[in-house]
A = this chain, B = another copy of it.
Amino acid sequence: MQDDGSNGTRMNRRAFLRLLGATGGAAAVMGAMDAWDMALASTVEAPPLLSGRADGKRVIILGAGLAGMTAAYELAKLGYDTPILEARTFAGGRCQTARRGFVLTELTGETQRCMFDHNQFFNHGPWRIPYHHRSTLHYTKAFDVPLMIMVNDNDNAWDYRVEETNPWSGERRRRREFRADIGGYTAELLAKAVDQSALDQELTEEDKERLLDFLVAWGQLDRPSLEYRGTGGRGYEEDPGAGLNPGVPSQPFELSDVLRNSIINGFRAVEAHTQKNTMFEPVGGMDAIAQGFERVTGRFIHYGHEVLEIRQHEDGVRIVVADTRTGETREVEGDYCICTIPLSVLSRIPADFSPAFAEAIRAPTYATTGKMGLQFGRRFWEEDDFIYGGHSTTNVFGNISYPSYGWQGEKGTLMGYYNFGAQAIEVSARSPAERIRYALEMGSLVHPEVYEREFESGFSVAWHLVPYSMGGWASWSADARRDHYPTLNEPDGRVFLAGEHLSYMTGWMSGAIESAWIQIEKLHQHALTRAEAGVTRT
């Protein structure tokens, strides 16, 4: 079922060079580098360049999430007929934004209607676009979706934790104090070790000199003592001002105390790829991306159509759907099917997949995860605490994440929690009203008094309880990636799967989009090959 990766899927650079090396020798490899760089640029950042018409061919797309709409949009350009069957009454899949009037009924039957003020919103699904997610940014540009910065790091936010050895247990502190101190002490300790010749085996005399210069600058160390004494990086007791106020620098904590605070294990000198700046979100809510896709594919979408069965034969597919309003069922036929239904849901839908394919569908687990949006009548985090965006961290209930829009405005909506795993299950077992009470109680640890007092309105989601999603995203174990994941990346007969679950960027919009790009290329090749012999791709 799976070959070397150079056939049917997009080749990676190494496979391409290996192939060229085998056929044309080193000179061909070198000569091809420029061409490859251009090809790479176009395939990674943009949809595949497909040629050859497939007019009249019908691809039934299951799901009007980003993967489904990407497939429909790109295939329609080639002449395909691309009806999209969508169970929900709106487009976007998990790319949702809670705003006034948004309604969510979880599998428990409880319904929430978002009551935020008109200028407030909360991205309870995807909420961040790192600069390197080229595929998502390809479409925000194509669809004129205005972007703004999502503040993903703000060390003036609070940290609150409860732990036995922590000298600040039960006391909120600014994250910056600890970030500066552990960075400064690390520089100091290494500088002293270098100075005392402890690393002479590892470093030349010249390297040592350069390393010392670097460490002094990096940790703002005193010279010649090589001591970290705290600087502006950890904040001032009293900020420098006008007149006769040069400011009062703050003093570092003791190293052994800092080491007893587990906050330090969350700081990074080498940051995670997906969390790096520049980080974006669309102006006005993440659903602007869904709406961008909807503008160009909306005419294909059949809302309120729930898939009951997926059937296929040698020449086509047959999808049984129910109209969710009337309950009436009907059959939709086509030449191909692109199914973007999350595997957590797909595994429950009758289909005549091969046994290996069916087994693979059941292989990943789906993330239990919940988010809470809380609207407050006053932006106390800005006005009282000078926190503009970013996250206050705790080891109790997770983080509070502050909005990156409406700076200095009257009201604001923050994320009261973003939980995972067992904690997400436990919190999701409560009613929406009880979840709000929980969020207010937890948030009051970080923002005492004001949190309950200024609260106006809440909206929560537990993605594992959301119909047609049943989980936040696919989680592949290493074993399942090896044994089952490749199976799902090939079509089963005339059914191609797509979605974030068929990517190494699970949980990200780019995973869904790029998965669709890969699968439509395969499908188009298949369709052209079947349509007429001798069609070549340019």
Interface residues of A (CB under 8 A from B): 5, 9-10, 12-14, 44, 131-132, 134, 137, 140-141, 146-149, 151, 153-156, 176, 180, 182-184, 186-187, 189-190, 192-193, 196, 198-199, 202, 204, 207, 210-211, 213-215, 217-220, 228, 231-248, 255-256, 259-260, 264-274, 276-278, 280, 386-390, 404, 407-408, 486, 489, 502-505, 511, 513-515, 517-518
Contacts and interface: CB of A to CB of B under 8 A. Distances in A.
Nearest to A2: B244
B14 A241 contact: no
A404 B151 CA distance: 13
Contacts of A196: 198
Nearest to A220: B270
Contact of A214 (B140, B259, B390): B259
14 contacts: A12-B245, A131-B386, A132-B156, A148-B148, A148-B149, A149-B404, A186-B186, A187-B269, A189-B202, A193-B198, A218-B264, A232-B271, A233-B272, A242-B505
Contact of A217 (B192, B204, B268): B268
Contacts of A408: 137, 140-141, 147
Nearest to A202: B189
Given A214-B265, A240-B505, 6 more contacts: A5-B244, A14-B248, A184-B270, A240-B504, A242-B503, A243-B518
Contacts of A151: 149, 277-278
B131 A502 contact: no
Contacts of A236: 273
A286 B89 CA distance: 44
Given A269-B219, A270-B220, A280-B407, A243 B502 contact: yes
A390 B140 contact: no
A177 B299 CA distance: 45
A268 B408 CA distance: 29
Which of A215, A243, A271 has most B Cβ within 10 Å? A243
Given A214-B265, A276-B155, A518 B242 contact: yes
A341 B155 CA distance: 37
Contacts of A274: 232
B277 A231 contact: no
Given A259-B211, A270-B231, A132 B239 contact: yes
Contacts of A513: 242
B186 A244 contact: no
Nearest to A267: B218
A211 B153 CA distance: 23
A430 to B, nearest CB: 33
A255 B194 CA distance: 15
Contact of A232 (B153, B272, B388, B517): B272
